[in-house]
Chain A
Amino acid sequence: MRSILALLGRDVGLSWAAGGSTRLALAFFALTVTLFPFGVGPGAATLAKVAPGVVWVAALLASMLSLDRMFETDFEDGSLDLLAIGPLPLPLLVLVKTVAHWVSTALPLLVLAPVLAITLQLESTAYPALLASLVIGTPALSFIGAIGAALTTGLRRAGVLLSLIVLPLYVPVLIFATGAVDAARNGFDTAPHLMFLGAVTLVAVVVGCWAAAAALRLHLE
């Protein structure tokens, strides 16, 4: 337990520190959302309609952007080898590092997302659903992303390959999450969407930890 907390604290600390990915992800998220009114026009009706999708796609890309540092920096300086021979089994190690990724990139987005949604004229009735979908759905992004990050650790041009691996797997998350927000906008029940989103997240946690651990083991040999 102590080693879990130590690793979690170290990873989150590194992300928050100068040169870490947290601020970059936040800036990227805000900028991407800002681009959409220029692209689709400033009309309030249009913006409100695309708002759930825009916020979610931007959050998804921001979360993906910081994936390549998940194992890469530790792999380069050799600390990943040390962690691997440490007391934690590899899947648990992946779990802790992925939770750290979620805490350091997705959690800050949660704070920023409603603010950006206001600028996109999202109806006030949709905010609980937006926040709930982000809380339930973003862990899935981190865990699916962990598989891609582990597979591409130590490769040249890892970034592009990572997006090619990860983005198709993100589709269900995006569908159920924006479905929930859209349901709330139109006055429907959001529970079915959120429950499916939760199911996707749970599958992602289980599959992600083991698959990413198996992928890391390849690069550690």
Chain B
Amino acid sequence: MHKFANPTRFLKLAAAVFPWAAGLTIALFAAGLVMALVFSPDDYQQGSTVRIMYLHVPAAWMALFTYTVLAASGAASLIWKHPLADVAGKAAAPIGAMFTALALVTGMLWGEPMWGTWWVWDARLTSVLVLFFLYLGYMAVWDAIDNRATAGKAAAILAVVGFINVPIIKFSVDWWNTLHQPASVFRMDGPTIDASMLWPLGLMFGAFNAYFVTVLIWRIRAELQARRVRALEDLLVRQTERESAV
């Protein structure tokens, strides 16, 4: 891991991985969407509405996963002071916020026909909403501090503190109110979903993961290049200043 903290080495690796990740994203989305929207069976209770789940469930998973990535890169930034860890966190945050928003919106679209309401103050909905605000706070810290090194460290502290708080928030909100159905895929006694629905769900999960990797690499590269541009600009300004002084 320390080996790839070097931006140059990372860029070389990223250039090799990127086309594969992008291709995988397209392929998995194509296969997953066709299976989920066309070939998978209707639910005996929910009818076609169940197809929203093929977007909703992976989005919700990825919302949590991305926050874990954020906290891990925050910890790496604080412990080892990896320059790339800050960049990775900054690049991951908007993707995570997007996944969270997607989970919320698809959940609302599903809730209206199924529960008869767009929104209930249920435990899972509420904790995902709080997670969304945690993402916004993290991004706001990056925006508010001009010095990039300071901003990165401040955001890293917030990500780690937020990560400690996520289970506490989750638990407290569960205690407070629960309507959402319990987990049905990751269970000790195996999934309770039929294979005809588990397959498209698995494909969509893979597609979301590949999408995350693709966009993350893309955004990290863009950020590194933006930093290079700014460094060159600074150099140019200093040079012109020196020349005008002479």
Q: Do A and B actually bind?
A: yes
Q: Footprint of B on A, CB under 8 Å? A: 147, 151-152, 155-158, 161, 164-165, 167-169, 171-172, 175-176, 179, 196, 200, 203, 207, 211, 214-215, 218-219, 221
For A196, give its contact among B136, B150, B158, B172 (CB under 8 Å): B172
Is the CB of B215 closer than 8 A to any CB of chain A?
Answer: no
Q: A171-B130, A218-B150 are in contact. Are A152 and B164 (CB under 8 A)?
A: no
Query: Restricting to B131-179, which residues have a CB under 8 Å from any CB of A?
Result: 133-134, 136-137, 140-141, 144-145, 150, 153-154, 157-158, 160-162, 164-165, 168-169, 171-173, 175-176
CB distance from A123 to the nearest CB of B (A): 21
Asked if A175 contacts B150 (CB within 8 A), the reply is: no
A-B pairs, top 6 by smallest CB distance, nearest first, are A172-B172, A168-B133, A175-B172, A165-B137, A164-B137, A175-B176
CB distance from B85 to the nearest CB of A (A): 15
Q: A168-B130, A169-B162 are in contact. Are A214 and B168 (CB under 8 A)?
A: no
Residues of B within 8 A of A172 (CB): 165, 168-169, 171-173
Q: A172-B169, A175-B176, A214-B78 are in contact. Are A161 and B144 (CB under 8 A)?
A: yes
CB distance from B47 to the nearest CB of A (A): 35
Asked if A175 contacts B130 (CB within 8 A), the reply is: no
Please, could you name 7 A-B residue pairs with CB atoms under 8 Å apart, sorted by A? A165-B140, A168-B137, A171-B173, A172-B171, A176-B172, A207-B161, A218-B150
Which residue of A is nearest B151, CB measured? A218
Residues of A within 8 A of B162 (CB): 168-169
Asked if B134 contacts A168 (CB within 8 A), the reply is: yes
Residues of A within 8 A of B133 (CB): 164, 167-168
Asked if A165 contacts B172 (CB within 8 A), the reply is: no
Apart from A171-B172, A214-B78, 8 more pairs, CB < 8 Å: A155-B145, A161-B137, A164-B136, A168-B137, A168-B162, A171-B169, A179-B175, A215-B157
Q: A171-B172, A171-B173, A214-B78 are in contact. Are A156 and B130 (CB under 8 A)?
A: no
A-B contacts counted at CB < 8 A amount to 77
Asked if A207 contacts B150 (CB within 8 A), the reply is: no
Consensus secondary structure, chain B interface: helix
For A161, give its contact among B78, B141, B171, B175 (CB under 8 Å): B141
Whole-angstrom CA separation of A164 from B130 in the bound complex: 11
Which residue of A is nearest B161, CB measured? A211
The digit string for B108-148, where 1 denotes a CB below 8 A from any CB of A, is 00000000000000000000001001101100110011000
The digit string for B75-92, where 1 denotes a CB below 8 A from any CB of A, is 000100000000000000
CB distance from A146 to the nearest CB of B (A): 11
CB distance from A193 to the nearest CB of B (A): 9
Q: Footprint of A on B, CB under 8 Å? A: 78, 130, 133-134, 136-137, 140-141, 144-145, 150, 153-154, 157-158, 160-162, 164-165, 168-169, 171-173, 175-176
Residues of B within 8 A of A215 (CB): 154, 157
Asked if B176 contacts A179 (CB within 8 A), the reply is: yes
Residues of A within 8 A of B150 (CB): 218-219, 221
Asked if A218 contacts B176 (CB within 8 A), the reply is: no
Whole-angstrom CA separation of A178 from B32 in the bound complex: 45
Residues of A within 8 A of B140 (CB): 161, 164-165
Whole-angstrom CA separation of A214 from B159 in the bound complex: 13
Whole-angstrom CA separation of A182 from B236 in the bound complex: 64
Residues of B within 8 A of A156 (CB): 144
Residues of B within 8 A of A147 (CB): 157-158, 161
Whole-angstrom CA separation of A64 from B167 in the bound complex: 23
Asked if B157 contacts A165 (CB within 8 A), the reply is: no
Which residue of B is nearest A160, CB measured? B140
Residues of A within 8 A of B165 (CB): 168-169, 172
Whole-angstrom CA separation of A165 from B136 in the bound complex: 8
CB distance from B5 to the nearest CB of A (A): 20
Asked if A151 contacts B141 (CB within 8 A), the reply is: yes
Asked if A175 contacts B175 (CB within 8 A), the reply is: yes
**Which of B78, B153, B154 has most chain A Cβ within 10 Å?**
B154
Q: A157-B144, A164-B140, A211-B161 are in contact. Are A218 and B154 (CB under 8 A)?
A: yes
CB distance from B123 to the nearest CB of A (A): 10
For B158, give its contact among A151, A167, A179 (CB under 8 Å): A151
Whole-angstrom CA separation of A167 from B132 in the bound complex: 12
